[in-house]
Chain A
């Protein structure tokens, strides 16, 4: 498995281990994609979601599951997940583009409108991107959630940006 040998998830691997949003759900707008696939003792994502979309339950080592229909794509869980393993994907952003929201804890924090390089799970640059939103309220406790706009075909691949 690429994940435990090389440190990144192949999309196919992720698809097998986590329930991903359906294409119908994606068509409705932003939604959380949880890329947490190991049974570790962790559950802050569950408490973070005030819409009750995320469930870990008992025991705490259960994988989190997301009821994508309850999820509004608000991004609160993204900032609360210590594994930085939750992303907000909006495949309905425009005709040709999608957005990906991810936690970004490096300095400097990107600013809206900035041109950046989007990277995949391996850290390889995939395409150019534009920062469309940076959300960093005190409640996020220094984990800004950065949203970038990318060509739609890369929405399942892009998960961060090259460090500035």
Chain B
């Protein structure tokens, strides 16, 4: 049977960073991702990243991805693409549907001493009249269309949601040559960074706060041709009589992300609900270990944040995994973890970060209270 020291699921920044750490310490690492390309969100991000210059901010997301891939290769990480974990069984056994040449799949059973889950997050949907009309899509999907596949989703776009995803994807849609005719936000203020909002305002995009989308109206060909928006009251209900109709052929929804928990559920890790982090997340300690001994988590899968935080958490998970394999000393591991938690704390400051720091602290506390020490794999 195929055996590995560490299996990492998800090849975004978190999974790549975890793989690199583990492989550098001498572990045999297998990294699997269901996509055709590794890199997770990074290869869609053509904009220069925020963050600290120590984390290569000011560099475009996909360049950060390329660098990580190179490091992973150098460290000897084995990567399987178009491969999904489909089962977890007693005795550290994992079933992987492996993508093989020609688009076929082959199911392989792997015995892995440690598992690191870095499956990222998926997009939330918003339901309104006509939400299934062709032309209505997630903002992330639109971003994949323009930046990965080089296809415009439409000519005139209504973006719903003013978080960083809504703002950045609006900007990139214009870079791709589309017009963003309105940006709609139900809350009274813009959710994402003001500098991102400012760049699309400068480009002439009207921003409608306290508004929602009420209906997407199909034209003769069955695809979106008009979009009705309306003001909302304090309870986010549309106010009758305030409707406006906008000519548009595409509605993109940037209504937040939620952590992808399929894999942690498969491993029967204990979950907790956390609103600010986007929904259900696996409980974990400061080693990024879940309720199940030997199973670690990192990145957006532990709560939706940023590439920088994903990278740092990935490193912690990688370090902890090789520590428990005996490849590095507990003293060395602890020293490095402390350094990383300090950097994470710096990233979770300011009006956008404080809340996440508090929630992270709460999660670590909840772990202490409910779990204490992780239980052995069954």
Contacts and interface: CB of A to CB of B under 8 A. Distances in A.
10 contacts: A36-B195, A41-B52, A41-B347, A42-B50, A42-B57, A43-B53, A80-B48, A82-B49, A83-B196, A160-B203
Ranked nearest first, the 9 interchain pairs of A and B with the lowest CB-CB distance are: A83-B195, A44-B58, A61-B350, A123-B204, A39-B350, A7-B197, A82-B48, A7-B201, A47-B53
A36 B198 CA distance: 10
Contact of A4 (B189, B349, B350): B189
B58 A80 contact: yes
B97 to A, nearest CB: 38
A9 B195 CA distance: 10
Nearest to B199: A84
A162 interface: yes
B188 A5 contact: yes
Contacts of A120: 202
Interface in B323-354: 346-353
A31 interface: no
B178 to A, nearest CB: 11
Interface in A102-120: 105-107, 119-120
A124 B201 CA distance: 9
A123 B205 contact: yes
Given A37-B194, A42-B51, A160 B202 contact: yes
Interface string A76-102: 000011111100000000000000000
A46 B60 contact: no
A107 B207 contact: no
B193 A83 contact: yes
A34 B346 CA distance: 22
B169 interface: no
Contacts of B149: none
A104 to B, nearest CB: 10
Contacts of B53: 43-44, 46-47
A3 interface: yes
Interface string A5-39: 11111000000000000000000000000011111
A83 B48 CA distance: 8
Given A44-B57, A121-B202, A160-B202, A4 B194 contact: yes
A41 B309 CA distance: 11
Interface string B43-80: 00001111111000111100100000000000000000
Contacts of A80: 48, 58
B59 to A, nearest CB: 8
Given A38-B351, A141-B60, A8 B174 contact: no
A152 B190 CA distance: 32
Given A43-B52, A123-B204, A141-B48, A35 B198 contact: yes
B347 A60 contact: yes
A109 to B, nearest CB: 12
A132 interface: no
B209 interface: yes
Contacts of B59: 141
Interface centre among B53, B175, B351 (most CB of A within 10 A): B53
Nearest to B177: A107
B281 interface: no
B146 to A, nearest CB: 12
B213 interface: no
Given A61-B353, A141-B60, A8 B202 contact: yes
B200 interface: yes
Contact of B48 (A37, A143, A159, A160): A143
A5 B190 contact: yes
Given A39-B349, A83-B193, A162 B204 contact: yes
Contacts of B193: 38, 40, 83
A5 B198 contact: no
A50 B248 CA distance: 46
